[in-house]
Structure 1
Amino acid sequence: MSTIEIPVRHIASVWREYAQRDGVTDPAVELLAREVYPGYPSWGYRPAFRVPGTDLVVEIVSSQPHPSYAQALQWIEWMLERLHDNGNIQLHREAS
């Protein structure tokens, strides 16, 4: 599995490049969190997502890691919803 690390400010563009197909988020995208230093959970977690059909994981780097897996996962879910709300990404098909 390969991992790329991106700064928070690039989430929308990287999401559109890797996680969207035909302008809509691929339902197979997996949201997750990764230990900053594998084997040392006390150092914190970074939000991430796994791209469907590849071995690519995109890890989001910010100035401060999240203290738990659940908090990192909650953050990425929240951030993606905000990016969807302001039109930067498309999470699902809009009802016509």
Structure 2
Amino acid sequence: MSTFTIPVRHIASAWREYAQRDGVTDPNVVLLALEAIQGEPLAGYRPAFRVPGKDLTVEIYACQPHRTSAEALQWIEWMLERLHDNGNIMLHDREVS
């Protein structure tokens, strides 16, 4: 599985390119929190999403990692909902709160 990193400002375009299929989010996409420095959880966590059908993980880079994996997951869920609300991406029905 390949992993690449994108800056926060490119989340919507990366989501549309890799996580959406026919304009709707692939239901197999998984939201993740990855260690900012592999093997060093105290360094913090970065939000990410995995697209199993494309054998791809996209890590989202910001200037500061989140302190916990839970914070990273909460942030990506929040951000995706905002992007959906303003029409930048289309989430699968089960993901919309």
Please indicate, yes or no, whether the TM-score normalized by the shorter chain is above 0.5: yes
Letter in structure 1 aligned against 2:2: S
- The structure where helix makes up a greater share of residues is 2
Question: Counterpart in 1 of 2:35?
Answer: 35
Q: C-alpha separation between the residues in 1 aligned to 2:49 and 2:92?
A: 17
Q: Structure 1: any 5+ residue segments left out of the alignment?
A: none
Please report the RMSD computed on the Cα atoms of aligned residues, expressed in angstroms.
0.9
What SS is found at the alignment partner of 2:4?
strand
Higher alpha-carbon deviation: 52-61 or 75-84? 52-61
User: After TM superposition, where is structure 1 displaced by more than 3 Å over at least 4 residues in a row?
Assistant: none
How many Å apart are 1:55 and its aligned residue?
2.3
Matches within 5 A, 1:46-85: 46-85=46-85
How many Å apart are 1:92 and its aligned residue?
2.5
How many Å apart are 1:53 and its aligned residue?
1.4
Q: Structure 2: any 5+ residue segments left out of the alignment?
A: none
Letter in structure 1 aligned against 2:20: Q
Question: Counterpart in 2 of 1:2?
Answer: 2
Deviation string, structure 1 residues 13-49 (Cα, Å, up to 9, x no partner): 0000000000000010000010011110000000000
Aligned residues: 93
Could you tell me whether the CA contact under 8 Å between 1:26 and 1:52 is conserved in 2?
A: no
Letter in structure 1 aligned against 2:60: I
Q: C-alpha separation between the residues in 2 aligned to 1:24 and 1:63?
A: 30
What SS is found at the alignment partner of 1:91?
coil
TM-score (norm 2): 0.92
